[in-house]
Chains A and B, each alone.
Chain A
Amino acid sequence: MTPPGAADILAGLAGAGPVTTWPGHLVDRCRTATLVSGVGLAVMSTATVGSVLAATDGHAQEMEDLQFLLGEGPCTEAITSGRPVLVPDLSRQADRRWPAFTAGATERGVLASFAFPLQVGAVGIGVLDLYDGSRGPLSDRQYAAALSFADAATAVLLHLQYDRVESEDGARTRSPDRLHQSDRVEVVDRRAVVHQAAGMISVQLGVDLATALLRLRGHAFGADRSVLEVAGDVVVRRLRFDDSAAGTVQTSPGTAPGAPDPAEESS
């Protein structure tokens, strides 16, 4: 049996209640799927101190608080290094990376810790932490499930972040992007053109990559097109994002500098 994919996880969350309840459901479901003893979800970036968004009952909340209190631990390392930090046996940590954290964890009966950075390329927005009361590595199946929950958590955090940006920016004329405000949250597409387009949009609008990605998705939802199609238009410079009420402007390909020659494209 294959573990649930991120899209299934998001669909399940959408059916469980309003978006604000999703982080709580997500950590509970992640614990059930991975059979670890605790799961925590923290919002943080390389530049900001994090805060705990949700944690399962038991020691997970304490463990998250401990990491932020100490300023050290797998969670901090995951977000700064941009890679999962998998420690199947905290007591045998060869390099003793986090002495205070390790002591605190073992006192609370936590013997293994697995931290997954929530990121989209250069955009780091949080960490999903799994804690276990018994030592030992995650099985391939548990690991794949944890990665899928991390993908789902990334989509949820991006969505929540965008809601905040939008409400701070309440005066701005609402573009078709507003449809994004629905509970339609999709897994972040990993295809190349989507991230190339996000890079371009970030420069066009003078916003960060996370906001650019969400504007791209918002536009696609509003125009009832796929994110991939809209991204393709941005990359060949048929579509530019701007601050107009519509949020975008169409341009004919070939008029913008660097646009591929249409003749070459169809050869």
Chain B
Amino acid sequence: MTARELLIADTFVELAGTLVDDFDLIDFLHALVERTVALVDADAGGIMLADQRGGLEVMAASTHDTRLVELFELQHDEGPCLDAFRTGEQVTKVDEAAMRGAWPTFTARLSEAGFASAQAIPLRLQTQVIGALNVFRVAPGALSAADMKLARALADVATVAIVQQRVLDAREQLAEQLQEALTSRIRVEQAKGILAERSGVGVDAAFTLMRTHARRSGLPLRQVVDAVISGAVLNL
């Protein structure tokens, strides 16, 4: 197999892990975004989830660059993810004039951050849209058809991971699970801050420390996060 095929295979092996008990959604979505950026011809990416109040919240990003994070946060109000979420269709607008017309603030920040385009693929569960996968390119132009197909498959993987099989038949359980995911994301941010201050490192380094610790000790990320918040772990 080529390196690319191996990466694809690995990603789907990780998906199988979503069925086990110690699966951690936030960790998984970060890994999935990193894999997406490695696999397709894109330079950054992220996953946004519906907040069920009409907006979207960022759940995972390929880097913690503050400008990239801001590009996701802006999409609470405008941007390709919000369009993908509202229409249920992929958003492949890459022409600058068209992007400026549709999302003036977002497009201005996008070029300040060094990107030429940001395409979005909805995370769809039957008729419902629960979020979107965003891919950013530095070079002009859209993803190739083959890359777009793979990105769609990865978006489907993300959807399956978020909702998990047991909720497919129950609207209430999906709603509960989405809210839990949003709350767990904020817990991770709080833990990053706590660990950064205790260990004298930056917040991004704190996140890497927690993920590495989780991998090494075979614990789900949320357990490491809980331990940091409760003060049981003072340094990693």
Contacts and interface: CB of A to CB of B under 8 A. Distances in A.
B177 interface: yes
A235 B73 contact: no
B197 A199 contact: yes
A149 B58 CA distance: 22
Interface string A246-260: 000000000011111
Contacts of B190: 121-122, 195-196, 198-199, 202, 209
B21 interface: no
Interface residues of B, number: 40
B176 A196 contact: no
B30 interface: no
Q: How large is the interface on A (under 10, 10 to 19, 20 to 34, 35 or more residues)?
A: 35 or more
A249 to B, nearest CB: 14
Given A122-B229, A257-B201, A198 B52 contact: no
Contacts of B176: 83-86
Given A203-B194, A258-B196, A147 B180 contact: no
Contact of A190 (B186, B197, B200, B226): B186
Nearest to A228: B73
A192 interface: yes
A199 B52 contact: no
B32 to A, nearest CB: 18
A76 B131 CA distance: 29
A9 B54 CA distance: 16
A82 B180 contact: yes
B171 A137 contact: yes
Given A137-B171, A195-B193, 13 more contacts: A83-B176, A121-B189, A121-B190, A122-B229, A144-B53, A190-B51, A191-B73, A199-B197, A203-B194, A209-B190, A235-B203, A256-B200, A257-B200
